[in-house]
């Protein structure tokens, strides 16, 4: 089958097929005499995959990985996890841009704004994008997961946390959240699911968010009924105003202060009005004071509670409708 016939069959342009060939996604044979591309059945099957994945928004590098992983369910799922996280990060960024543009246009009311107004509108967006782009995991969480399995989240903590204090902190976090049957909630930085399992025991519909593929794999094996999304706290791969509660245990210590502030903004984005938040970690008092103040600025009701081992629990309730 020649390029125009293949393009017509697939509902794309010949130029698109040539582009996919240039990017190494498909390699049709060429007629020895005419030099025309000849698309065989296998090429068309590959192109069906490419066209479908492209329509789902996957960038070319992710499509290449997905094609290579078609015969390996775990690899394919990991590729889709990574692609979804990247798409959500782009969506979060675009949503915030649109919100800022709408606010600006409302304030300008038909007049041309001064350049200073535009710069002031754009500056917070630039700062958030800079923080997100500079983020990287400060530990090899995949390696820790392989070595320590479900105990990996505890082993990532430095200085070490006593296992009894760790378990008590998880129990306190779950108790303060008080998840109810059927409620949609989150375990952020879920690791291998130690907090998620406690929250789900109440019958709540708990979703985990974790950046480490190896941690995700363990959580899925331990709690196959719980969905877990790959992503980080700076760009949660989740829709806005969806969840009744969010918990996070010992994830914030892996973030810088500016990253923690951005994480709080993301948590606020996904919580419903009246939503409950519990953050448990071992940070200095100034860090918890800064987070509490940031939440109070957004009219949250906030309390902090010291736990054993220098651990603190911050509990907050988002303003209601």
**Rounded CA gap, 186 and 211, in Å?**
14
Closest residue by Cα to residue 250 from 184, 175, 172, 302: 172
d(CA 223, CA 200): 9
The Cα–Cα gap between 219 and 152 comes to 11
- Ordered by start, the domain boundaries in the chain are 3-68, 73-134, 141-317
Q: Which CATH architecture has domain 3-68?
A: Orthogonal Bundle (1.10)
Q: What pLDDT was estimated at residue 217? A: 96
Architecture of domain 141-317: 3-Layer(aba) Sandwich (3.40)
Give the Cα separation of 52 and 56 in Å (integer). 6
- Rounded Cα distance between 25 and 21, Å, is 6
* Amino acid 265: pLDDT: 96
- At residue 35, the pLDDT reads 76
User: Residue 53 has what pLDDT?
Assistant: 97
pLDDT tens profile 216-230: 999 999 999 999 999
Q: How far is CA 138 from CA 135, 156, 157, 211, in A?
A: 9, 10, 12, 12
Q: Which residues of the chain have pLDDT under 70?
A: none
pLDDT on residue 276: 98
Predicted pLDDT of residue 297 = 97
- The per-residue pLDDT for 36 is 82
């Amino acid at each position: 089958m020649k390029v125009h016939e293949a393009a017509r069959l697939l509902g794309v342009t010949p130029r698109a097929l040539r582009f996919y060939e240039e990017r190494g996604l498909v390699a049709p044979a060429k007629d020895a005499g005419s030099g025309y591309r000849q698309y065989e059945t296998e090429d068309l099957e590959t192109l069906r995959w490419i066209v479908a994945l492209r329509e789902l928004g996957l960038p070319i590098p992710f499509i290449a990985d997905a094609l290579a992983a078609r015969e390996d369910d775990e690899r394919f799922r990991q590729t889709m996890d990574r692609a979804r996280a990247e798409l959500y990060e782009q969506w979060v960024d675009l949503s915030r841009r649109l919100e800022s543009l709408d606010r600006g246009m409302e304030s300008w009311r038909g007049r041309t704004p001064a350049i200073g107004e535009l710069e002031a509108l754009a500056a917070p967006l630039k700062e958030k994008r800079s923080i997100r782009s500079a983020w990287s995991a400060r530990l090899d969480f995949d390696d820790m997961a392989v070595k320590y399995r479900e105990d990996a989240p505890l082993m990532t903590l430095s200085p070490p946390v006593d296992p009894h204090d760790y378990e008590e902190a998880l129990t306190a976090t779950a108790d303060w959240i008080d998840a109810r049957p059927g409620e949609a909630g989150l375990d952020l930085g879920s690791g291998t699911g130690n907090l998620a399992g406690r929250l789900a025991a109440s019958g709540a519909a708990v979703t985990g968010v974790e950046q480490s593929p190896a941690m995700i794999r363990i959580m899925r094996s331990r709690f196959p009924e719980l969905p877990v999304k790959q992503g980080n706290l700076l760009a949660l791969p989740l829709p806005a105003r969806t969840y009744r509660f969010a918990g996070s245990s010992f994830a914030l210590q892996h973030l810088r202060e500016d990253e923690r502030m951005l994480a709080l903004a993301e948590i606020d984005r996904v919580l419903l009005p009246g939503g409950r938040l519990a953050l448990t970690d071992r940070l200095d008092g100034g860090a918890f004071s800064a987070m509490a103040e940031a939440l109070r600025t957004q009219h949250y009701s906030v309390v902090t509670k010291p736990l054993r081992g220098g651990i603190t629990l911050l509990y907050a309730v988002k303003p209601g409708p």
